[in-house]
Amino acid sequence: MVNEPLDLDEPFTVEVLESDGTTTVALTGELDAATMGVLQASLPPVAQGGELVLDLRRLAFMDSTGIRVLMSLDIRSRTEGWSLRIIRRPGAVQRVLDVCRVPERVLTVDEPAERG
Partner 1 sequence: MKSAGDPLAELDKTLPAVPASVPRLRRAVTHFAATAGATSTVLEKLRLAVTEAVTNTVVHAYIDHDRPGSVHVTASVRDGSVHVTVSDDGRGMLPRVDSPGLGLGIPLIAQAADTFDVHQAAGGGSEMLMCFRLAG
Q: Which residues bind partner 1 (CB under 8 A)?
A: 1, 3, 6, 8-9, 30, 32-37, 61, 63-65, 67-68, 71, 92, 95-96, 99-100
Closest CB to partner 1 among 36 and 43?
Answer: 36
Instruction: Give the nearest distance from C-beta 52 to partner 1 in angstroms.
Output: 20
Closest CB to partner 1 among 29 and 50?
Answer: 29
Classify residue 44 by its DSSP letter. Answer: P
Instruction: Give the nearest distance from C-beta 63 to partner 1 in angstroms.
Output: 5
Phi, psi of 53 (to 5 degrees): -115, 120
Instruction: Give the nearest distance from C-beta 1 to partner 1 in angstroms.
Output: 6
Instruction: Give the nearest distance from C-beta 9 to partner 1 in angstroms.
Output: 7
Buried-state track 62-98, b at ≥16 Cβ within 10 A, e below 16? beeebbebbeebbebbeeeebbbbbbbbebbbbebbe
Closest CB to partner 1 among 94 and 108?
Answer: 94
In DSSP terms, 110 is beta-bridged to none
Q: Are 85 and 57 contacting, i.e. CB atoms less than 8 angstroms apart?
A: no
